[in-house]
Structure 1
Amino acid sequence: MQDFLHTTIRAAGAIARDYFVRGVTHSEKTSVADLLTEADVAVSDYLIAQIQANYPDHQIHSEERAADINPGARYEWVIDPIDGTRNFALGIPFWAPLVAVIKDGKPFLAAIFNPMSDQLFSAAQGGGAYLNGQRIQVNGVDTLEHGFGVIYRRSGFPRVERYIRAMDELNRASTTWLHNYGSMVAAAHLASGGIDFYLSNSGFDHDLLAPALICSEAGAVVTDADGNPWTREHHDIVIANPRLHPKVLALLK
């Protein structure tokens, strides 16, 4: 199943890359920040078709479908066809298909593929995290003073005021670099040691399940804003290495 996941997400990324190179049109789903392109639909359809052909009894949840396929099955595939659609639609090459596989209600496999850089981040529960087949782990940064962090906060979602205060405190009290990459590829780079921390108050299962497993398997601590272990259907997520995580979490108190 893991080999199938890796092969299929690479093929899905190639489809998306072709659309990206040609250029796409887009429409708004819920807001100007929540876009849909023909590529999102095409990649979703491809992934669903491949999963159904190989695992016809599995549940499939895609961001671009109104209803799940085979709800209640032991295995569930959770798909974000193009995470970072706004980047994709505007010609910014920082986006990726995300796929997580849930087994008996628990994260089992995950993959994030950036076709623009040919980087496949992957993990299996209890088996570690990998980038193009090489083992990866989080960095050992233990201070926020010169940190490199990603914060994504969105109005209308839980704890937004706490995230705004955290951003303000970091801006005033340190030389931390704060970015919003607009894609969960950022969390994958945390898993490989490039980024120090990641905060978001507005993710969904299709956004967060794959990076949460990859980061956890790379040695990160993954919680909600209150310090509880992150679980699906929680919009907020806090990710950092074990030494830095308490300091990041303190910003949200």
Structure 2
Amino acid sequence: MSGELLAATVAAVRHAGARMMTRYSIESRQPGLPDLLAHLRANDAAVVDVLRPALTAALPNASWLDDEHGSGPLDMGQWWLIDPVGGNVNAAHGMPDWNIGVSLVRDGRPVLAVVYFPVLDEMFTATEGGGALLNGAPLRVSVKTALDGALAGTGQARPGQGPEFAERTAASFIAMSKSALQVRVSVPVTHQLAQVAAGRMDVHWQFDNVRAHAAGVLLVQEAGGMVTALDGTPWKLTSESYLASAPGVHAAALDVLTTRPGNA
């Protein structure tokens, strides 16, 4: 992966973050769901308007997807996968935990990732085989070896999953809470994956593998973490679920998520 392409992607994402910061306010509130949804769409559009021309210019032959809730296989070749505003609902409510997320997927595997948190000015980057960085400094996952000292988390990958999905997530939260030091349920997913890559969290799991998570997955992998499907097989873009964690707690976390009641 060329340094020029990574630099161009970082520049585009930083520009998009600056655009979003002109829309973001800690006073931001909407009176009801229709107004909220309109605000979310406007946020996404503002970011895409910056990213699409810049990334197309950087890699003209790559295809484009900015459906942050999309899943399933992609055709062979290169794809820009964009999560315009990860945690958009947080930004719309004046909270700081949101990001701009971009990954480049080549023949079904992520090869480049840029995840930027504008409020904190934290730029996470990774390239396949090139390691993961935070503001230019190398990242490593945590050295935890037991779940009793681990900070774990999950979250809602996409809305509208229904009561069965909610019950499964709740059961997994209860199961993990019995083993881990602390468990959080929050969005955006890429925020938690970035924290695992930085060693700030130790475990993140999802029962719903969304393609836009590829950026966070690559961050964890390149920071020395383990990412597998919940059946223990290697993570793929088409996996139905996944566990991303520090290597020292991966087996224990996998056991919790696959053998406890309600999580089979």
TM-score (norm 2): 0.82
- Decide which moves more: 141-150 or 46-55: 46-55
Corresponding residue for 2:232? Answer: 227
User: Which stretch of the first structure deviates more once superposed, 48-57 or 95-104?
Assistant: 48-57
- Alpha-carbon separation, structure 1, partners of 2:69 and 2:32: 16
Give the superposition deviation at 1:47. Answer: 0.7
Q: Which residue number corresponds to residue 76 of structure 1?
A: 79
Query: Structure 1 residue 133: deviation in Å?
Result: 0.6
Give the secondary structure class of the aligned counterpart of 1:37. helix
Alignment match, 1:16: 20
Is 2:48 the partner of 1:44? yes
Letter in structure 2 aligned against 1:62: D
Q: CA deviation at 1:229?
A: 1.3
Determine the structure 1 residue equivalent to 2:133: 130
Identity, % of aligned positions: 27
Say if 1:175 and 1:123 are closer, same or farther in 2 by CA, change over 3 A: closer
Residue 119 of structure 1: aligned partner: 122
Residues 1:241 and 2:246 aligned together:
yes
Q: Is the 8 A contact 1:152 1:201 kept in 2?
A: no
Q: Which runs of 4+ in 1 moved over 6 A?
A: none
Which residue is equivalent to 2:261?
none
Q: Does 1:2 align with 2:22?
A: no
* Higher relative strand content: 1
1:55 counterpart residue number: 59
- The answer to which structure has the higher helix fraction is 2
Q: Distance in 2 between matches of 1:47 and 1:195?
A: 29
Gaps of at least 5 residues in structure 1 are: none
Residues 156-171 of structure 1: pairs in structure 2 closer than 5 A: 156=162, 162-171=168-177
Deviation at 1:239, TM superposition (A): 0.7
CA deviation vs aligned residue, 1:14-50 (integer Å, no higher than 9, x gap): 1112111384759869xx99x8331111101211121
Deviation of 1:157 (Å):
9.1
The CA deviation string for residues 36-93 of structure 1, in whole angstroms up to 9 with x for no partner, is 3311111012111212233332211112799xxxx95732110000010111111111
The gaps in structure 2 that reach 5 residues or longer are: 259-264
1:147 Cα shift? 1.8
